[in-house]
Structure 1
Amino acid sequence: MAESCRLSRGRLAVDTAAASVIVARHAVRSLYQELALYPKPGLVSLVDTGSHDDMDASTFVRSLFSLRRYFLDIALAGAQGSKFETLRLLGIDAERRMLAATGGINTHRGAIFSLGMLCAAAGRAGASDLPDRQPERLRATLLDCWGEALAGHRGPAASNGALVRKRHAAPGAREQAAAGFPAIFELALPTLRRTLAAKRGLRCARIDTLFTLMAELSDTNVYHRGGAAGARIVRDTSLRFLARGGTAAPDWEQQAAAAHRRFVAHRLSPGGAADLLAAACFVHALSTEPGPP
């Protein structure tokens, strides 16, 4: 199956390279949009540091700058139909540069993986005979080209995500990727589109999407910080927000701010949901503002 994803030498034309630049810009922009969103329970924003005392918005901005080249490189690698091992090595190098830029603080490790794989899929989809970066095509490309490798991929056994999966049987980013990111394509994107269709704008659409992800996602970041009890707080708080109508409720900002204070009090930070929110913003923007084919 992966054989059909390979391109012959010299196929990477100037227009494909230009399209990969667009993909990389959307990736960086989506991470900034996630950073700038507020109220955002427990998470770092331009307003405050959430549940974190080791990082702030400037830490994330430095991380973003360090990742600009990575998103371009992995989109180009995807356009060339590179094997998963090539993409994995690009991710390892990106993580090294991120940690150098942040003084050893993990700001975007999850996004390097999830958003990086989506950039590769976007690069490949844009380099095909019939360029198409609609969500359905991106997901199919991801699974066709690298699904088998993702299903067999295992990260470091001592990582926080691996320990959480073992202790709580909570699936993480790798399980999401192997299944073609159902949380993005089946959960986040439909929520984003519904709020936009209701004419409540991008900010509200992102808030609704974040709370939907927090309500449904097994977030290894939350389990790592708060265990099963913390995961229940995140899920129950998010479900209550959504049951009140989400951003359709007249007092939604006060309710979101109250959720933020509650998460901070319990030192909870749903970083996995934040990563997938950024990824959903990326996929949506790419499909509505695709740039050159």
Structure 2
Amino acid sequence: MIAPAYPMTMPRQRPLTPADIGRAATLALHDELSLAPKPGLVTLTDCGSHTDMDAHTFMRSMFSLRHYFVHIAQAGFEGAGFDVLERSGIAAEARMRHATGGVNTHRGAIFMLGLLCAAAGAALHDEGGALHGDAVRTALRRHWGDALASRSQRVSTLPGGIAARRFGLRSASTEAALAFPVLFDTALPALKAAQRRGLTPPEARLDTLFHIMAVLDDSNLAHRGGLAGLRDAQRMAQDFVDQGGIARPGGMTHAHAIADAFVARRLSPGGAADTLAAACLIARICVAS
């Protein structure tokens, strides 16, 4: 059963502010956490493929990050350089680990959603008025594209980065340098299409997760299951999408079966979870197009 979730968008009674953007990022993390069944990922009722974290860990982590997202959105609004964003992210990760007893719950989200909050803040300053997804992506490229391209050339010592380099995958840093193509070209169109088909917000988000899993070079999957684990996960997700996704008769049963298969192999698509949360963020702060 899919858990209840917050509405897809935030009510607009006044102009959007950087504080609104930051709060929307925290809500977007809850959007992702509240979904079930999610293959290998922590939900409100189970730990997926993880033994060191649960929903309580995630909630403590989200609480520790709530000011970070507001702060980095404001920094983007003020035109901060990439070094400022990077220092803010490093400090946020330290707070997250303090809140979780050292567990990495949201490192990827700190990076991805943090950049998107900054870009949304910059777009708000540059464009004014209502935000559009294209404006957020353009602001990311305009303000920090060169810095992100340079960062993507660093040799990562993190497990996901090591796996990406080992298997020749597109890393999270490369996704950022390319202005998040899976988010903007796959996840957001899938989310909008699911809404147009009349799916509830949780159903639309779950359907979108499988679209993301089918195409993303998820380095967390590669770290845990090698290249074979990643490709098997992508094939299972693509098969789910090809058969009609969550809306078809038996769709939920199929999703549960995939979740069980992931847990049996200790696979966890953390990169896909971050991308889904990012799509929820953009949906919350940007007007539909």
TM-score, structure 1 normalization: 0.90
Is residue 248 from structure 1 mapped to residue 217 from structure 2 by the alignment?
no
Report the residue type matching 1:239 in the other structure: Q
Q: Which residue of 1 aligns with 2:104?
A: 106
1:85 Cα deviation after fit: 0.5
2:161 and 2:54 map into 1 onto residues whose CA distance is 26
Q: Which residue of 2 aligns with 1:62?
A: 60
Q: Which residue of 1 aligns with 2:177?
A: 178
Q: Equivalent residue of 1:127, what SS?
A: helix
Change (3 A) 1:158 1:129: closer
Q: Which residue of 2 aligns with 1:86?
A: 84
Q: Equivalent residue of 1:250, what SS?
A: coil
1:47 Cα deviation after fit: 1.5
Report the residue type matching 1:163 in the other structure: I
1:130 Cα deviation after fit: 2.9
Whether the 8 Å CA contact 2:141–2:179 is kept in 1: the answer is yes
Q: Which residue of 2 aligns with 1:234?
A: 233
Whether the 8 Å CA contact 2:37–2:256 is kept in 1: the answer is yes
2:96 and 2:207 map into 1 onto residues whose CA distance is 29
* 1:100-120 CA-partner distances (Å, limit 9, x unpaired): 000000000000000000000
Is residue 75 from structure 1 mapped to residue 64 from structure 2 by the alignment?
no
* 1:39-96 CA-partner distances (Å, limit 9, x unpaired): 1010000010000011000000000000011001100100010000000000000000
* 1:3-55 CA-partner distances (Å, limit 9, x unpaired): xxxxxxxxxxxx99x71110011000000110000010100000100000110
2:169 and 2:80 map into 1 onto residues whose CA distance is 30
1:129 Cα deviation after fit: 5.4
Aligned length: 274
Worse-matched range after superposition: 134-143 or 18-27: 18-27
Match for residue 22 of structure 1 among 20, 23, 31? 20
Q: Which residue of 2 aligns with 1:213?
A: 212
Q: Which residue of 2 aligns with 1:144?
A: 142
Whether the 8 Å CA contact 2:164–2:222 is kept in 1: the answer is no
1:129 and 1:278 map into 2 onto residues whose CA distance is 24
TM-score, structure 2 normalization: 0.92
Q: Which residue of 2 aligns with 1:257?
A: 256
1:104 and 1:148 map into 2 onto residues whose CA distance is 32
Q: Which residue of 1 aligns with 2:124?
A: 126
| Structure 1 residues not aligned, in runs of 5+ | 1-14
Which contiguous aligned blocks of 4+ residues in structure 1 show a shift greater than 6 angstroms?
none
Percent of pairs with identical residues:
46
* 1:131-151 CA-partner distances (Å, limit 9, x unpaired): 342101000011000011000
Aligned pairs for 1:32-71 within 5 A:
32-71=30-69
* 1:251-291 CA-partner distances (Å, limit 9, x unpaired): 111000000000000000000000000000100111149xx
Change (3 A) 1:220 1:129: closer
Q: Equivalent residue of 1:128, what SS?
A: helix
1:260 and 1:129 map into 2 onto residues whose CA distance is 42
* 1:183-239 CA-partner distances (Å, limit 9, x unpaired): 111100000000100111211211111001111000000000000111122111111
Report the residue type matching 2:219 in the other structure: T
Q: Which residue of 2 aligns with 1:194?
A: 193
Whether the 8 Å CA contact 1:125–1:131 is kept in 2: the answer is no
Change (3 A) 1:166 1:201: same
Q: Which residue of 1 aligns with 2:3?
A: none
2:128 and 2:233 map into 1 onto residues whose CA distance is 42
